[in-house]
Structures are given as C-alpha cells and as structure tokens.
Amino acid sequence: MSEYVPASDVVPKKSTYPKSVPYIIGNEAAERFSFYGMRSILVTFLVVQFFNPTANKALSTVADAKANQLSHLFVTLAYALPFVGGLVADWFTGKYKIILYISIVYCLGHLLLSMFDSTLNGFEIGLLLVAIGAGGIKSCVSANVGDQFDVTNQDLLSKVYGWFYFSINAGSVLSTLAIPYVYQNYGAKWAFGIPGILMGLATIIFFSGRKLYVKVPPAGVNRDNFVFISIYALRNLSKKKEGESWLDVAKETHNPERVDGVKAVYRVMAVFFFALAFWAVWDQCLSEWVLQAARMNRDINLGFYHFTIIAGQVSTVNAIFLLIFIPVFNYWIYPFFDKIGLKTTPLRRLGVGLVLTALSFVIIALIQTKIDHGGTPSIWWQVLAYIVLSAAEVLVSITGLEYAYTHSPKSMKSTMTAIWLLVVSLGNFITAGVNSYIANKGTYAPYLAGANYYWFFVSFILVFVVVFMFVSPRLKERNYITDPYVDDVDQNKIIADTNNL
C-alpha cells in the first residue's frame, strides 16, 4: 500500500559543489600568482640587467623604451592567443588537454626566465613561452569551471565564480607584494624562480583533479562562426544585392541566424574601437609607471608605521581600489545619476571612463615633469593616478564586457570575449610600437622623451574622446537581453567570460 506524501513535506535535495572545483580554483590562484609576480619586476629587471646596467642617465630614455617595448609585446602575444587556444580546444582537443599541455609550456617558460637571467636571448625565449602559456589557457580555464556544473547545482555556479574571481585577485595582490621584495633582497633567480615554482604547483594541482573533471569533448570545426562567415562574405561581395548588408550573401551557405549574429559582432566592434585607447595605456601602470615610481620618494608614513614601498609593489593599489570601486559604482554612483535623470548608459560610461583615463595620465605627466626637473615627488601622487585609473577601468573594461554581452546574440558571446581580448592585445601593440620608435631613435623620438611621452598619450586618448562624442550618438544599437523574444541572457557564461580577463 503506497503512502501519500504532501508536496509541502517533500524536502528538496540540497545542491552540492562538484569535487573538481577546489582543484580548478587552486590552479587559478597559483597561476595568477606566477603571472603577475613575474610582471611586477619585468621592466625593472630588463632595464637594470640588460638595457642600462650602469644606470647611465644619458641612456635611460632608450633603455626604458626597450624594456617597455618588450613588456608590451609580451602582453600583446598573451592576449592574442586566447582566441587561438579557444578554437583549438573547442574544435580539436577539448579544454582539459589544452590546459594541461600548455601549462607545461608555461612552466618551461618560467624555468628559462630564472635560468637565463643574464642572457637576453634566452630570457626572451622564456618570455615567449610564458606568453604562449598564459594566453593559450586563458580562454579555457574559466569556461572549464562552468563545464563542471549541471541542472542539479546550477544555483551554486555564481558563488563558485565569485571564489574564482577572488582567487585571481588574491594571487595577483600577494605576488605583486612578495616578488618585488624577493627581487630586491634575494636577486633575479629567486624572483623569477618562485613564480615558476607556483606555476609548477598550479599544474600539479590541476593534474591532481584529472579523475574528477567533467571533460566536454571537442565539437569539431564549426564553419558557422565569425571568421568563416566574414571570409565568405568578403570573397562574394559581387553577389550583394541592393539594400542588403555585405554579410547577407553568406546566408547562401551559412546559418542565417549566425550571419545575423556576425552583424551584431561588427556593431559591437565599433564600440570596442574606442576602448582601444584605454587598453593602449592601461598596461603602462605595470611597466612605464613602475619605472617612474623608482624615481619617486616612496617613503610611506602612516603615523603608527613607517616603511619604503618598492616600485613594483605600487601597482597593488590598482587591484585594491578596483575591488572597492566595483560595488561603489554599481550600488551608489550609477543609481544616483539614474535617479536624478542622467541615465548611465553603457556608451556614457565608456565616454566618462576615457576622460578619467586621460586624467590619470595628466597626473602621471605632471609627476614626470617634476622628475625631469630634478625633483622627487611623493609616491602618493602616483597612488592618486592609480585611483583615477581604477575608476576608469570599472567604467571602460567592465562596461565594455557588459555591452558586448547585451548587444550580441547568445551564439556570439564567446566570440565577443575573444575579440575584447584582441583589443587588449592591439592596444599593447600600439604602445610597443611607440616605444620601438623611441628605442630606435626615430626622427621625432626626442619629442617623446620624459613627460612628453605621457602628454602624447593624453593627446592620443583625447582624440578618441572627441571622435567618440560625434560617433556615439550615431552608433546602431540592438539589445538582445531586454527583448526576451530575441535572446535570453546566459548569466553564468557572462560571469565566466568576464572573469577570464
């Protein structure tokens, strides 16, 4: 005889975390420690060890430019490769194999950095391998987190991504504080060796969870993607009919819905173009600004404690204020302006963010002017610039990702993240080109020395701001989130790809 159990008495099964999650988060924390630890001393080491070991003031401009060029080329490659790594994983190998095998390349790169600390060619090979490692796994690691969940525990995914994001920042902050101290007190071999040890630990942690991972198999080559559709449309432009988009010709051989998705990608890319100004200068806070900090008064007197901060440690301020500003903007600043009638649309946020970016570089240029005239300004002035830049990062970087997701269909959201990372790469490539011009003593290189270098980038950003003011009102927009009949937002994927940066 069966018993009737009232629905109200049925206790829903409690969701449980996948057993693989601790291995993924531990791997990410250790990997980010290794990456940002190495970057915190990179430009300082390159100048002191290779480009100006005698600290000759006459060589400082060219030496700094060579170090900055190499640093920005490293970042260019590291942010260009996620696009390739994601395609290889999705089409051929799956995420697990890419993460494991490329992590081994990553470890080898760190090993070469510590081994060839007195040989530039060997050191550059190490940088190349680290860039391949960091870039190759970037697009796979956060997506691998989402693969571990199913319908029974989807409610826990946002919490896990919260811990995932925390691990990124924890690894970054700890390494930026620790590695410059190790470099100053124990030398380059240990300073580059410890990040290598952490990357080795990251690989071991990831491999240890191999029997617990949900491994999504590769899906094979998908020709209905952004690249194939764009190439086909370009090759068949002669078939375009009057009144049609140049992409519509691709509907002959490709999924029409995917072709419309590619149209959305190009609309968003018009907005991404203006974010290029931000990414051309942001990474300078981990290179040019570090070299500037070394020439400043870095004594910190808190009243109850007095110490001298190391130049490579100053960038920690960025991570701290970024974490503070994210809730401040989301829960106070945006609602305040919305309430008084100044709606904070994504395009307005982007525009204000670019203005703040220029303002941060105005502060840096004024600092450099004082240094050029023999002064040693307080490091607190650079901290102020970091605060302004952190606010700009919230307005540009986070808003840019939000705009990409809300203005592209579900089928193209991963593509938009890859293109966003390519914008970061291209921005760094531009800055590397400027530094290459200075290093090779181009005709106008003397006009880019000292504070003029930063004033150049202030002007560079302001040109983008002026053009943005005229173009933004004319940009065609289509929000795929507010219209549920067009597309439903995949919130978990948004979180995954946002944390992939």
The answer for residues whose C-beta is within 8 angstroms of residue 112's C-beta and 6 or more apart is 122, 123, 125, 126, 129
Inter-residue contact 407 to 268 (CB < 8 Å): yes
pLDDT tens digit at each of 501 positions of the chain: 444 545 455 555 678 889 999 999 999 999 999 999 999 999 999 999 999 999 999 999 999 999 999 999 999 999 999 989 888 888 899 899 999 999 999 999 999 999 999 999 999 999 999 999 999 998 888 788 888 988 888 888 878 877 887 888 889 999 999 999 999 999 999 999 999 999 999 999 999 999 999 998 887 888 888 889 999 999 999 888 888 889 999 998 998 888 988 888 888 888 899 999 999 999 999 999 999 999 999 999 988 899 999 999 999 999 899 889 988 998 999 999 999 999 898 899 999 999 999 999 999 999 999 999 999 999 999 999 999 999 999 999 888 877 877 777 766 767 777 888 899 999 999 999 999 999 999 999 999 999 999 999 999 999 999 999 999 888 777 676 565 444 433 444 433 333 333
Structure tokens at 68: 């900055």
Residues composing the chain: 501
Q: Given the structure tokens 């970037």, which residue do they identify?
A: 138
Candidates 306, 301, 309; CA nearest to 177 is 309
Identify the three-state secondary structure at position 237.
helix
Q: What is the pTM of this model?
A: 0.89
> Which residues lie across from 306 on neighbouring strands?
301
Q: Which long-range contacts (CB under 8 A, 24 or more apart) does 355-358 make?
A: 355/465, 356/388, 356/389, 356/391, 356/392, 356/395, 357/277, 357/278, 357/281, 357/282, 357/389, 357/392, 357/396, 357/461, 358/458, 358/461, 358/462, 358/465
DSSP character string of 291-312: HHHTTSB-EEE-SS-EEE--GG
Which amino acid, one-letter code, is at 496?
A
**How far is the CA of 482 from the CAs of 309, 402, 407, 410, 436, in angstroms?**
48, 13, 10, 13, 46
What gap in Å lies between CA 260 and CA 258, rounded to an integer?
5
**How many Å apart are CA 129 and CA 192, to the nearest integer?**
14
DSSP secondary structure letters along 52-118: -TT--GGGHHHHHHHHHHHHHHHHHHHHHHHHHHHHHIIIII-HHHHHHHHHHHHHHHHHHHHHTTT
Q: What are phi and psi of 343, to 5 degrees?
A: -65, 130
Q: What is d(CA 294, CA 242) in angstroms, rounded to the nearest whole number?
A: 61
Sign (positive or negative) of CA dihedral 119, 121, 122, 124: positive
Strand 306-308 with 299-301, pairing: antiparallel
Measured distance CA(71)–CA(77) in Å, rounded: 10
